[in-house]
């Protein structure tokens, strides 16, 4: 019997991916079904459901699920879930579909059917519904006033823009996923399914595992957080997003090279596992931190590293709001339906010249003039502008990789700094 944490939801790993002859037969059948075009985010969510990373979800959410998740962090059956997982369709497509129909979910960029779905419900999403969802999911302590939020959200928050640009209806129902796309080949050895990470953890004898979420190159603060986790857990799972990011973020293949260099030169290798997952970022800050815990639990992770401004964007969230939200969420009494993966809360970290090493606000008594404040956004901005990187901001091996990447860019993207990147810890 496995000693790892149980998958979220109490049903084991719920995988909707078809393989081999079953997948080929379903692809043939899908040729006769009505095609619904899907977005990159929906495609990533499909793969997450396919491989069991979104267990216990087996399809896109009903209106009751959507409302319960937005309002109470609970699906209609009482399972904890922090962020809606929905599929949008145009009014024209929705009008042509009856509940009970089967449809093919089509990726127009790849000209490929990615899944089939039995439509159990269709429901309208008005502009007011979308705004309500955005306020529930994206409104944070950084900009708590809805009036002020909407003055900047459509220009500065990619998650809000994503929701508001969704089509007029949502379709709900179970899916049969037909492909993992390019991820298994493009990120061979990094991309993995929950069953695969669980197998590795068990082979290594790990039971208490912490996960490090990464969408930026790994700088000294990330390295320090992982080493704290290694001290208190059996190992750390450095788990990078290999799905879509916002303009200006560094692509996954470059980030993977950086992590490889760090693991090789600065970690005990059998205490670290590097992995990748295919979901797109939502930039939902505290809510996304909870989502990261949900699906990391499916990967076998028991502790989620939550540091400063986890999954944030701009100044929309409080610096440690993604930590405090764990103290406010519901914990269903029914076995398996509560979130079991707990946060590993770590304070603001930095390099301190007087301490002569990495430290945090809990361990360093010195002033801000002695500290090198570390931020992925600040690092990207300095590199993109060809500026000098302060000592102790990043490892030399990593900076070589990142400079090569930026020198190879033909188009530069302006990178905005915000409070999380430039603010001083108090």
Q: What is the pLDDT of residues 325-358, one digit of tens each?
A: 999 999 999 989 999 999 999 998 999 999 999 9
Q: Which residues contact 11 (CB under 8 A, 6 or more apart)?
A: 55, 56, 336
pLDDT, position 384: 76
CB 119 within 8 A of CB 52: no
CATH for 184-422 is: 3.40.50.620
Residue 218: name the closest of 379, 31, 410, 326 by CA.
379
CB 35 within 8 A of CB 104: yes
> What letter would DSSP give residue 201?
H
Domain boundaries, the chain: 20-125+166-179, 184-422
pLDDT, position 200: 98
Strand blocks (E) in 125-271: 169-177, 209-214, 235-241
Domain 20-125+166-179 listed as CATH 3.30.360.10: no
Peptide bond preceding 287 in cis form (omega within 30 of 0): no
> What letter would DSSP give residue 219?
-
pTM of the model: 0.93
pLDDT, position 411: 65
Residue 13: name the closest of 160, 212, 195, 281 by CA.
195
Both structure tokens of 263? 């693991």
Residue 123 pairs with which residues in a beta bridge? Answer: 170
- In angstroms, the CA 418 to CA 308 distance is 13
Both structure tokens of 238? 């450095």
First-to-last alpha carbon distance for the chain, in angstroms, is 47
Indicate whether 373 pLDDT > 70.
yes
Q: How many CA atoms lie within 13 A of 253 on its CB side?
A: 8
pLDDT, position 375: 65
Known catalytic residues?
215-216
Indicate whether 244 pLDDT > 90.
no
Both structure tokens of 49? 């459901």
* Pairing relationship of beta strands 349-352 and 371-373 according to DSSP bridges: antiparallel
Q: Which of 43-57, 354-368, 412-426 has the lowest mean pLDDT?
A: 412-426
Residue 34 pairs with which residues in a beta bridge? Answer: 103
- In angstroms, the CA 171 to CA 372 distance is 49
pLDDT tens by residue, 7-59 = 999 999 999 999 999 999 999 999 999 999 999 999 999 999 999 999 999 99
Residue with the larger pLDDT of the pair 21 and 396: 21
Indicate whether 107 pLDDT > 80.
yes
- In angstroms, the CA 125 to CA 120 distance is 16
Chain length of the chain: 426
- φ/ψ region of 57 (left if φ > 0, alpha if ψ in -120 to 50, else beta) reads beta
Indicate whether 87 pLDDT > 80.
yes
Name the maximum alpha-carbon separation found in the chain: 69
Span 170-193, average pLDDT: 95
Residue with the larger pLDDT of the pair 375 and 50: 50
Span 92-105, average pLDDT: 97
pLDDT, position 418: 53
pLDDT, position 254: 87
Span 181-201, average pLDDT: 94
CB 117 within 8 A of CB 173: yes
pLDDT, position 151: 97
pLDDT tens by residue, 122-158 = 999 999 999 999 999 999 999 999 999 999 999 999 9
pLDDT, position 419: 54
pLDDT, position 406: 82
Indicate whether 247 pLDDT > 80.
no
Residue with the larger pLDDT of the pair 272 and 250: 272
Q: Which of 11-15, 244-248, 403-407 has the lowest mean pLDDT?
A: 244-248
Residue with the larger pLDDT of the pair 335 and 289: 289
Distance of CA 265 to the CA centre of its chain: 27
- CB atoms < 10 A from the CB of 243, how many? 22
pLDDT, position 408: 78
């Amino acid at each position: 019997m496995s000693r790892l944490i149980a998958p979220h939801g109490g049903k084991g790993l719920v995988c909707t991916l078809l393989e081999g002859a079953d997948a080929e037969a379903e692809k043939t059948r899908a040729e006769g079904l009505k095609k619904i075009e899907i977005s990159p985010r929906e495609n990533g969510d499909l793969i997450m459901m396919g491989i069991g990373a979104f267990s216990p979800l087996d399809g896109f959410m009903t209106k009751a699920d959507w409302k319960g998740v937005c309002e109470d962090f609970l699906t209609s059956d009482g399972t904890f879930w922090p962020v809606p997982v929905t599929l949008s369709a145009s009014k024209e497509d929705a009008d042509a579909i009856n509940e009970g129909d089967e449809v093919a979910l089509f990726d127009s960029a790849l000209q490929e059917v990615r899944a089939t779905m039995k439509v159990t419900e269709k429901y309208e999403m008005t502009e007011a519904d979308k705004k309500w969802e955005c306020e529930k999911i994206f409104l944070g302590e950084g900009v708590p006033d809805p009036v002020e939020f909407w003055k900047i959200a459509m220009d500065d928050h990619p998650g809000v823009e994503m929701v508001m640009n969704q089509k007029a209806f949502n379709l709900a129902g179970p899916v049969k996923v037909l492909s993992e796309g390019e991820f298994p080949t493009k990120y061979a050895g990094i991309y993995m399914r929950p069953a695969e990470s669980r197998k590795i953890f068990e082979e290594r004898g790990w039971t208490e595992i912490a996960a490090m979420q990464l969408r930026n190159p790994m700088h000294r603060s990330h390295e320090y957080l992982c080493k704290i986790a290694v001290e208190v857990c059996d190992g750390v799972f450095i788990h990078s997003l290999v799905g879509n990011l916002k303009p200006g973020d560094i692509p996954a293949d470059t980030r993977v090279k950086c992590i490889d260099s760090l693991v090789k030169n600065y970690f005990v290798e059998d205490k670290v596992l590097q992995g990748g997952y295919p979901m797109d970022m939502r930039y939902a800050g505290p809510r996304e931190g909870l989502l990261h815990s949900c699906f990391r639990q499916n990967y076998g992770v028991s502790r989620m590293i939550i540091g400063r401004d986890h999954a944030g964007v701009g100044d929309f969230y409080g610096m440690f709001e993604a930590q405090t939200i764990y103290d406010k969420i519901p914990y269903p009494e029914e076995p398996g339906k509560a979130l079991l993966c707990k946060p590993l809360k770590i304070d603001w970290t930095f390099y301190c010249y007087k301490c002569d090493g990495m430290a945090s606000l809990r361990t360093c008594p010195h002033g801000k003039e002695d500290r090198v404040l570390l931020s992925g956004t600040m690092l990207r901005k300095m590199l993109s502008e060809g500026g000098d990187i302060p000592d102790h901001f990043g490892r030399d091996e990593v900076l070589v990789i990142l400079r090569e990447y930026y020198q190879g860019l033909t188009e530069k993207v302006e990178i905005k700094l915000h409070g999380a990147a430039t603010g001083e810890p108090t």
